[in-house]
Structure 1
Amino acid sequence: MKKIICSFAFLGFLTVAQAQEATVADSTSHWKSKGEVSLLFNQSNFSNWTAGGENNLSGNFLLNFGLEYAKDDWTWDNKLMASYGLVKTKNASFEKKTDDRLELNSILGKKATGKWSYSAFLNFRTQITKGYIYGKDDNGAEIRTENTDFLSPGYLTFGPGMLYKKDANLKINIAPATSKLTFVDDFYTSQNGYVDGSYFGVDANKSMRYEFGFYGSVYYKLNIMANVSAENILNLYSNYLEETKNVDVDYSLNIVMKINRYLSTNLSFQAIYDDNAFRGLQTRQVFGVGVNYGF
């Protein structure tokens, strides 16, 4: 069922992309779209290497698509980001993920004054495939335990606020009355699944957690030098209902160093602090040479 849903979502995305491509020639269109697909590759191979090492091969897929609408005092900015990566090492029993992310951001704005607009935003985040915790059995063989999946967890955050938009490269949204829903499959919170009593903040035998609080987001993109750009995305959330001082932080940095139209060196870094998921700082870094296609 999940594969069917993903397939329909992908087909819907292609339909939107094609529709937008068809309207590019129409100078009266209020829609603008821009997207890029990247494939990153990394390989290490050793033979009689006395310093040690293990043969490995990894690949990452990245999708970044933006769709914008502007007419009179209204704007509607949408951004879809997806990434997925695997690594295979010679002596490992399983392929392991190096990246897994699916995120949609949408902000509707109605001009208030100057560069400020009244806004309504929506943010959705989840992962694409199952996630595992790896370990060893009594014989030293590698084993894995399923820990996460598509929509387990899934986060839906939305609310009214104020949007400051200097230009396409600098946007700040402040939403002091934001609802946040955390979805999980109750398998992980039941006796047959996750038995710790709390799974990403969702209580035992439940499948959803509701929070109400303050949300702030910043998008800032700059050109460091010729053919080198850095995209910064920062999301902050504080729950009014409990532990207000515990601010959830999600920061992403994407640096692209273009070699030519189709080749680039890409660096992606993400840092997350969310004590409902893990009481500590989570970090992720992906670096490699990419093959890019813009549309």
Structure 2
Amino acid sequence: MIKKLILFFICVFAGLQIAKSQDRTMLADTLLINGDTIIMLGDSVIIKKAEVPIYWKKGGNFNLSIQQVSLTNWSAGGASNFALNTGLNLFANFAKDEKIWDSKLTVNFGFNRQSERRFASRKTNDNFIFLSKYGRELTDFWFLSTQVDARTQLLSGYRYFRPPGSERESRAKISDLLAPAYIQSSTGLNYRREFKNKDKISIIGSPFTGRFTIVMDDSLKNAGAFGVMPGENIRPEAGVSLSSSTDIQLLENIRWKADLNLFSNYERLGNMVVNFNSIINMKINKYITTRIETVLIYDESVFISQNDGPPKRAIQLQNLINFGIGVDF
């Protein structure tokens, strides 16, 4: 009987020691200073840093591809040329409490140079797109949002042609910086969702949209280019719009980003202005990428010059395949 009692007290004592060692932190003296918790545990000091909330997410991507062909006494024919295409994408997203603010800037530029042509250097890619959206949360995925969409280009654009009977090529200016520029402001309901795998989707429909076409070049505005009245710089419109933004991981190393903007003037409901931008990014390693970029534009107020016949409305399509350097930051 005495042995059993001794064994019982030994077990109880051991249990108390284990519990005491586990609860030392709980029994230690604590002090809170500027959000940091300081715990005195014997002769040791344990500092527990308060978690700092992160409201901003910022980053971007830079890509560059270069191609050069040099021919000397080449019997198969051809022409030496140099081509460059580069792009910069930046984003800054803010989220706090019930407020969001997402901004994105895309700048692309490319040119091709053939020394044997009269106009050796010619643009192949040139666009500037800025999107900014502010919203207040209504439910988990629905927001009341206002979005600003601004688009233009950086350098002059030309149409190249050879006049009848001439042996020399000529060119005519058809666009320039802020000629045209499109600024669209819309307010409406925004469905916005971010998934665990970092896929994102955002759709905003607005019955209250203002769209402004700006032409600052004198020769183009006097000709009434891009739908402005001859001699005027700005063409205002009111209508409805639908915009979407998609960022999806298709495969492990393949990501697809796309932006779609549709606008219809109240005076001609159903006649859509379409702007669609798509980028498929295939990463080979940390720095080498292949990008497939597609831009589709349709605007019934824009008449495209033709090689034969008068200018007419047409779908504008640009497709680029780039292999080169891509850096995420």
> Larger % of strand: which?
1
Structure 2 equivalent of residue 209 of structure 1: 235
Where has structure 1 moved over 6 Å in runs of 4 or more?
A: none
**Alpha-carbon distance in structure 2 between the residues aligned to 1:122 and 1:260:** 35
256, 268, 273: which one aligns with 1:248:
273
Shift of 1:186: 5.3
Q: Contact 2:103–2:131 at 8 Å: present in 1 too?
A: yes
34, 47, 55: which one aligns with 1:30:
55
Q: Contact 2:176–2:217 at 8 Å: present in 1 too?
A: no
Shift of 1:260: 1.1
Shift of 1:93: 2.0
284, 287, 290: which one aligns with 1:262:
287
Counterpart of 1:146, as a letter, is K
Task: Tell me the TM-score normalized by structure 1.
Answer: 0.84
2:308 equivalent to 1:274: no
Shift of 1:28: 2.7
Deviations 1:118-168 (A, max 9, x none): 001100000001111111244321221222111111111002111101116
Structure 2 equivalent of residue 283 of structure 1: 317
Unaligned runs of 5+ in 2: 1-50, 304-312
Q: Say how many residue pairs are matched.
A: 263
Q: Contact 1:189–1:203 at 8 Å: present in 2 too?
A: no
164, 169, 172: which one aligns with 2:200:
169
Shift of 1:45: 4.5
**Alpha-carbon distance in structure 1 between the residues aligned to 2:159 and 2:184:** 27
Structure 1 equivalent of residue 167 of structure 2: 140
Q: Contact 2:174–2:220 at 8 Å: present in 1 too?
A: no
Deviates more, 1:74-83 or 1:129-138: 129-138
Deviations 1:237-285 (A, max 9, x none): 00113x2221011111101111111111111111111111231100011
90, 94, 114: which one aligns with 1:89:
114
Structure 2 equivalent of residue 157 of structure 1: 184
Structure 1 equivalent of residue 46 of structure 2: none
**Alpha-carbon distance in structure 2 between the residues aligned to 1:32 and 1:159:** 24
Q: Secondary structure at the match of 2:218?
A: coil
Report matched runs for 1:51-130 at 5 Å. Answer: 52-94=77-119, 95-130=121-156
2:65 equivalent to 1:40: yes
Unaligned runs of 5+ in 1: 1-25
**Alpha-carbon distance in structure 2 between the residues aligned to 1:84 and 1:27:** 39
**Alpha-carbon distance in structure 1 between the residues aligned to 2:167 and 2:250:** 48
Deviations 1:53-87 (A, max 9, x none): 33222111101111000000000000000000000
> Alignment RMSD, CA only?
1.7
2:246 equivalent to 1:220: yes
Structure possessing the higher relative contact order (Cα contacts under 8 Å, 6 or more residues apart): 1
- Residues 49, 66 of structure 1: alpha-carbon distance in 2 compared, 3 angstrom cutoff: farther
**Alpha-carbon distance in structure 1 between the residues aligned to 2:70 and 2:317:** 26
**Alpha-carbon distance in structure 1 between the residues aligned to 2:220 and 2:162:** 24
Counterpart of 1:235, as a letter, is N
Identity of aligned residues (%): 30
